Structure 1
Amino acid sequence: MSNNQLTSLLPVPSGCLQISELTPSGTSIGNKSIHLSLVIPTYKERDNIKNVVRILSQLLDEAIPGNYELIIVDDDSPDRTWEVAQSLMEVYPQLQVMRRQQERGLSSAVIRGWQVARGRVLGVIDGDLQHPPEILTQLLSAIEQGADLAVASRHVEGGGVSSWSVVRRFLSRGAQVLGLTILPGVLGRVSDPMSGYFMVRRSAIAGVTLNPVGYKILLEVIGRGKVSEIAEVGYVFCERKQGESKVTWKQYVDYIHHLLRLRISTGRLGKISQKVDFPIGRFLRFGLVGLSGVFVDMTVLYLLSDPTTLAWPLTRSKILAGEIAICNNFLWNDAWTFADVSVNQQEWRHRLKRFLKFNIVCLAGLVLNVLVLNLVFNFLIPNRYIANLIAIAVATIWNFWVNLKLSWRVTDVK
């Protein structure tokens, strides 16, 4: 095998975030399965990455020599962390590096790393040495003793935090209490559901489509995986010595969003959705976006058609109001409802293509809307606003289903 092959970057998987039951073939250091694949997601960790790789390699060479791999997944760091990591591959043969340029986010980075991993056990550890590496051997031991999931926890014996402020402690505990309120069946299974340091058997999450938001990948593993036995190992969370913290208010917002998404998708609505093959969670988001469109539609319709304003004909006013609402809805759906799809196709030509498709589908829905509006207004309920609400409800179901199948799907693959 040539040096170029040994130091080449891993290809970035595309499509849904799903782990295969069989280990993938064609990786740069061989095809046979191994015991442990440890993913290290990074962003602007140039100052830490050499020490991280050195320490992890020394530890795992003693614990399971030749039976592991380290996979660094870097989100195209401006400090070129991926390049520094790539330069280490000749020295550390168990190291592999992936550079993601089209996607962002810690959780999806971890899953992309697991998708190319060859390990029967999949793990994750931070790339900033805030997770003490020596805990890895205890996590491995817990898996070997039969656990499906081994979690490093700050809230069991031997765990803690080194020098957190009162505010940060309050926010961490507050987030946990909020999670227990919204999703007790998931967060109640571990003492530290916010942990980003754990190992899981491949078989426990294989074949399951993961759909994370933000940083808390452990929530997805517990909530969607086939996890029976869970073990916890205490660890002390350390302050970083190099680089900058990635914790912002956006992470807390993403956490709440993630809890609500899991609650919907794993609750009764989620089970119904799986049985009838209908994405209820996505439809609810589409419906919320539609509500904003209703406000836009109603406001414009009033300004154009009401006898006290411009008093335009109802049909002409409805067409213009509908088109403005379509533009509003597209922007929100692209950024939120179908964000997991649109993130893979971010160029302007892709967005324009989605907008044109969305517009055509919604214009067809608008024709349906206008027909229903006139039928209801002229033959059933002679109130323009009630008739308009009924017409919008009918058109919404049409718009969602056809857009789901036509507008938001990845068609260009590099």
Structure 2
Amino acid sequence: MRKLLGQFLRFGVVGLGGLVIDIAVFNLLRLTILSPDVVHEGPILAKVISTTLAIGANWIGNRRWTFATAGRTGATREGVEFALVSIAGMAIGVLCLWVSHYVLGFTSLLADNIATNVVGLALGALFRFALYRWWVFSPSRGVLAAENAAADAVLGATERAIGPAGLTPLHRIQTVSPVEDRTHRND
């Protein structure tokens, strides 16, 4: 439980850095070139751009600090999974903004910030933390890969633990060379 709390606090610090980037870029764009007076979809575009920049900063912080002790199975795989989870989290914030701005008609700068940077951020952060922890940076992935490599080194290719990803193997399979059946020679 203590490790989970520590990870959650580090996730919060990294997220706070991303939040600063997100809010600053969103408001800068929303008040200037992507103002709803200039571009009808300006607030949505501003949010997509600002969140994309924050996702990049969060990727670095979460990989290097929050989940640094998790087993590594490949930066490319983690990067793709991180991007997928982050885009889904961004969609939560954008959806909150869209509902507030275009459905409910709250079009002020304050309303846009509350919808996307308070409500959307809180919902998206919970979603992202859960999926980062249990899927993207899952410690069991690195452990399983290390266990399989160790088993291959010790047992060779003839015996290897198998099982679903992330679970401890329950069975071992051993390859056996064919044996002739010599008990029925007279048949």
**TM-score of the alignment, normalized to the shorter chain, above 0.5:** yes
2:78 aligns with one of 350, 354, 359: 354
Quote the residue 1:151 is aligned against: none
> Distance between the aligned counterparts of 2:44 and 2:125, measured in 1?
19
Please give the secondary structure, in 1, of the residue aligned with 2:80: helix
> Distance between the aligned counterparts of 1:292 and 1:302, measured in 2?
16
Quote the residue 1:30 is aligned against: none
Structure with the higher helix share, 1 or 2: 2
Quote the residue 2:48 is aligned against: 319
2:114 aligns with one of 386, 392, 409: 386
> Distance between the aligned counterparts of 2:34 and 2:86, measured in 1?
25
Quote the residue 1:60 is aligned against: none
Taking structure 1 as reference, are residues 370 and 310 closer, same or farther at Cα in structure 2, changes over 3 Å only?
closer
Taking structure 1 as reference, are residues 380 and 403 closer, same or farther at Cα in structure 2, changes over 3 Å only?
farther
**Contact 1:302–1:309 (Cα < 8 Å) also in 2:** no
> Distance between the aligned counterparts of 1:352 and 1:380, measured in 2?
41
Taking structure 1 as reference, are residues 305 and 397 closer, same or farther at Cα in structure 2, changes over 3 Å only?
same
Quote the residue 1:304 is aligned against: 29
**Contact 2:82–2:136 (Cα < 8 Å) also in 1:** yes
Deviation at 1:283, TM superposition (A): 1.4
Q: TM-score, normalised by structure 1?
A: 0.30
> Distance between the aligned counterparts of 1:376 and 1:289, measured in 2?
27
Quote the residue 2:93 is aligned against: 369
Amino acid at match of 2:112: R
Deviation at 1:309, TM superposition (A): 4.4
Please give the secondary structure, in 2, of the residue aligned with 1:340: coil
> Distance between the aligned counterparts of 1:401 and 1:282, measured in 2?
11
- Confirm or deny that 1:283 pairs with 2:2: no
> Distance between the aligned counterparts of 1:324 and 1:360, measured in 2?
15
Please give the secondary structure, in 1, of the residue aligned with 2:69: helix
> Distance between the aligned counterparts of 2:84 and 2:27, measured in 1?
24
> Distance between the aligned counterparts of 2:115 and 2:23, measured in 1?
12
**Contact 1:361–1:403 (Cα < 8 Å) also in 2:** yes
Quote the residue 2:177 is aligned against: none
> Distance between the aligned counterparts of 2:10 and 2:130, measured in 1?
13
Deviation at 1:375, TM superposition (A): 2.3
> Distance between the aligned counterparts of 2:105 and 2:43, measured in 1?
17
Quote the residue 1:332 is aligned against: 61
Pairwise CA RMSD:
2.3
> Distance between the aligned counterparts of 2:78 and 2:127, measured in 1?
17
Deviation at 1:376, TM superposition (A): 3.4
**Contact 2:93–2:117 (Cα < 8 Å) also in 1:** no
Quote the residue 1:195 is aligned against: none
**Contact 1:358–1:403 (Cα < 8 Å) also in 2:** yes
Q: TM-score, normalised by structure 2?
A: 0.63
Quote the residue 2:182 is aligned against: none
> Distance between the aligned counterparts of 2:122 and 2:104, measured in 1?
18
> Distance between the aligned counterparts of 1:288 and 1:368, measured in 2?
21
Deviations along 1:220-257, one digit per CA (max 9) or x if unpaired, are: xxxxxxxxxxxxxxxxxxxxxxxxxxxxxxxxxxxxxx
> Distance between the aligned counterparts of 1:310 and 1:331, measured in 2?
28
> Distance between the aligned counterparts of 2:77 and 2:63, measured in 1?
12
- Confirm or deny that 1:293 pairs with 2:18: yes
> Distance between the aligned counterparts of 1:282 and 1:380, measured in 2?
38
Deviation at 1:281, TM superposition (A): 2.4
> Distance between the aligned counterparts of 1:404 and 1:345, measured in 2?
13
Structure with the higher strand share, 1 or 2: 1
Deviation at 1:345, TM superposition (A): 2.3
> Distance between the aligned counterparts of 1:406 and 1:376, measured in 2?
31
Amino acid at match of 2:46: S
> Distance between the aligned counterparts of 1:281 and 1:375, measured in 2?
34
| Residue ranges of structure 2 left out of the alignment (5+ in a row) | 150-187
Deviation at 1:328, TM superposition (A): 0.5
Deviation at 1:310, TM superposition (A): 4.5
| Percent identity over paired residues | 27
Please give the secondary structure, in 1, of the residue aligned with 2:104: helix
Taking structure 1 as reference, are residues 332 and 284 closer, same or farther at Cα in structure 2, changes over 3 Å only?
same
Please give the secondary structure, in 2, of the residue aligned with 1:339: coil
Q: How many matched pairs?
A: 133
